[in-house]
Structure 1
Amino acid sequence: MSEAAEATLHVRERALTAPALDYGAPEGAEAWLAGIDIAFPDVVVTLICGWDGTTSLLMSTGGGIVGAGSHDEVSHAAHAFLFEAGAWVDELLPLPDLSFPELGRVRFFVRRGDRCVVGEAGDLELAEGRHDLAGLYSLAQAVVTQVRRTTRS
């Protein structure tokens, strides 16, 4: 595994497991961090959105875009995603492990306090609006779209 891949995996692991205090997360927030893992044939793309607008789009093969939340468009989309994710905390399950989803699957993760909960669905079910989490998926995709628009060179 390359150093870049190890670095992005470390960022993801910390997002999923680090104490809320490490991130300065506000106490009592419905959610202070939310994201998704989308599994493709050769890479898993991870979107991470924090309560403070911090937004990163990471590749399991290494690299990605860190700090995209400094753009207003990204920050607004990320906050909409995070707000909606907070409404799902009680419906999701505790994080079982740090594995990535299988090919064709999307895993949502949400942090409240020191807890991390997850939900998973097929990418086609979500894209076609046939799963309860389809609305949350659409909001996550809106963040990805804004990241891509604002970070183009």
Structure 2
Amino acid sequence: MKEYKISTTFIVYEQLSDLPSAVFSLMEAAINARNNAYSPYSKFNVGAAVLLDNEKVVVGSNQENAAYPSGLCAERVAIFQAGAIYPTAKIKKIAITATSQNHKVSEPIPPCGSCRQSIAEYETRQKENIEIYFMGEEGSIMKSNSLSDLLPLTFQKSHL
């Protein structure tokens, strides 16, 4: 029997003002996108902003549907839109923020499993890591240098 140890490291910024200016602006775009979320069922609003290598920023917010689970998370709205509008651009960074209409969200909220798999596909496709910054509505912000820090054993097209 073999045993493998998987470990990861995250950078934690205590508040928005501690972020580098470009990331601060990206997180502001995610916060603005969060305000456009359509979440009448979960009452959980998420915004995402994607920075591309062409310096364009593409945003997304979660969009729910009464036929649960046919809605779409903010992260996938943003990255799929980026892929549709700028198919040759690479994703450099993603900023994600979440809030609840029921309570204060003060801990960083990472992407869900489906979003992690979608981000993994883009990292594989572009052969470059994507920095991921995530937060609640207040409090600290976590930075992951790559999706593999959040999902170390990814399912990839090479497995098919």
**TM score, norm. by length of structure 2:** 0.28
**TM score, norm. by length of structure 1:** 0.29
Q: Which has the higher contact order (CA 8 A, sep 6+)?
A: 1
Higher percent of residues as helix = 1
Report which of the two structures shows the higher radius of gyration computed on alpha carbons: 2
